[in-house]
């Protein structure tokens, strides 16, 4: 099991995430969110790695904390986070409020493929990279 | 301009409540965490950082200079309606 520090003082769990797109790589902070059905990434980050949200043919209605929105969905070739990698993963292009120091959410469509125990009492996240399909 | 590579944490300490655009030189691949890099831009507005990012190839990181604010609670979710 790979272990990552868990900052108990922080209001959320922030994780480093490397996105591999058709043309570029980009590393950002996402909020680990087991309440999010899908991984959400800011449109400008998707644009930089070579995925244009305005050209996405797939759109869905999502319910967010701020209301109901109709947003584009795109497939990211690779997402690496907390010692795990998922290829060809669908994400929604949406922006968090500007005062949030993260560029999106790492949601269940990534998390559910791995064993990721949140060991709050021991201050670490563990990741078992054995992928559960 | 020749920009010297620095530890990411050292770059973060120099700025207050700004977004940083960093060309990543060294990564901890196991944790997907950038360790060292070169600062390309800094700005309180992430969209200004994005304009610079679009002009650069290679592996970049967008990082906020500060930790999560102590007085900022969050409640996020996204649920798909089919």
pLDDT tens for residues B11-67?
999 999 999 999 999 999 888 999 999 999 999 999 999 999 999 999 999 999 988
Q: Is residue B10 part of a domain?
A: yes
Tally of domains in chain A: 1
Three-state SS sequence of chain A? CEEEECCCCCCCCEEEEEEECCCCEEEEEEEECCCCCCEEECHHHHHHCCCCHHHCCEEEEEEECCEEEEEEEEEEEEEEECCEEEEEEEEEECCCCCCCCCCEEECHHHHCCCECCEEHHHCEEEEECCCCC
Strand A14-20 relative to strand B33-43, pairing: unpaired
Interface pTM (ipTM) of the complex? 0.90
Domain limits for position B52: 6-64
Q: What number is the average pLDDT over the span A89-116?
A: 91
Contact between B34 and A27 using a beta-carbon 8 Å cutoff = yes
**For residue A58, what are its two tokens?**
């797939």
Q: Is the Cβ–Cβ distance between A36 and A107 less than 8 Å?
A: yes
Nearest CA in chain B to A9: B70
Higher pLDDT, A61 or B69: A61
- In this predicted structure, what is the pLDDT of residue B77? 64
Q: Which DSSP category does B63 fall into? A: E
**pTM here?**
0.90
CA distance B50 to A17: 17
Find which of A9, A18, A66, A80 to mutate to test the B interface (most B CBs within 10 Å of its CB). A18
Q: What is the pLDDT of residues A27-83, one digit of tens each?
A: 999 999 998 999 999 999 999 999 999 999 999 888 777 778 889 999 999 999 988
Structure-token match 């959410």, residue found: A105
Element (H, E) at B12: helix B8-13
Asked if pLDDT for residue A12 goes beyond 90, the answer is: no
Yes or no, beta carbons of B64 and A40 under 8 Å apart: no
**Closest chain A residue by Cα to residue B24:** A27
Pairwise CB contact (< 8 Å): A63 & B61 = no
Q: Is residue B71 part of a domain?
A: no
B23 lies in a domain? yes
Q: Do A63 and B32 touch (CB under 8 A)?
A: no
In-domain check, residue B73? no
Q: Is the pLDDT at A23 greater than 80, yes or no?
A: yes
Give the CATH number of the domain where residue A31 resides. 2.40.70.10
A133 within some domain:
no
| Residue B2: predicted pLDDT | 63
């Amino acid at each position: 099991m790979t272990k990552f520090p868990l900052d108990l003082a922080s209001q959320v769990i922030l994780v480093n995430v490397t996105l591999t797109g058709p043309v570029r790589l980009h590393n950002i902070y996402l909020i680990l969110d087991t309440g999010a059905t899908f991984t959400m990434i800011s449109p400008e980050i998707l644009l930089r790695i070579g995925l244009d949200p305005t050209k996405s043919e797939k759109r869905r209605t999502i319910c967010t904390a701020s209301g109901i929105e109709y947003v584009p969905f795109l497939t990211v070739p690779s997402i690496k986070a907390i010692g795990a990698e998922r290829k060809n993963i669908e994400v929604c292009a949406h922006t968090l409020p500007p005062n949030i120091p993260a560029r999106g959410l790492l949601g269940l469509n990534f998390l559910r493929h791995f064993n990721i125990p949140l060991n709050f009492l021991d201050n670490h996240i563990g990741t078992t990279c054995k992928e559960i399909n | 301009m020749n920009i010297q590579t620095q530890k990411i944490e050292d770059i973060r300490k120099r700025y207050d409540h700004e977004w940083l655009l960093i060309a990543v030189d060294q990564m901890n691949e196991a944790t997907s965490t950038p360790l060292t890099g070169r600062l390309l831009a800094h700005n309180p507005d992430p969209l200004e950082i994005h304009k610079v990012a679009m002009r650069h190839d290679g592996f970049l990181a967008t990082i906020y200079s500060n930790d999560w604010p102590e007085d900022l609670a969050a409640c996020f979710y996204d649920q798909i309606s089919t």
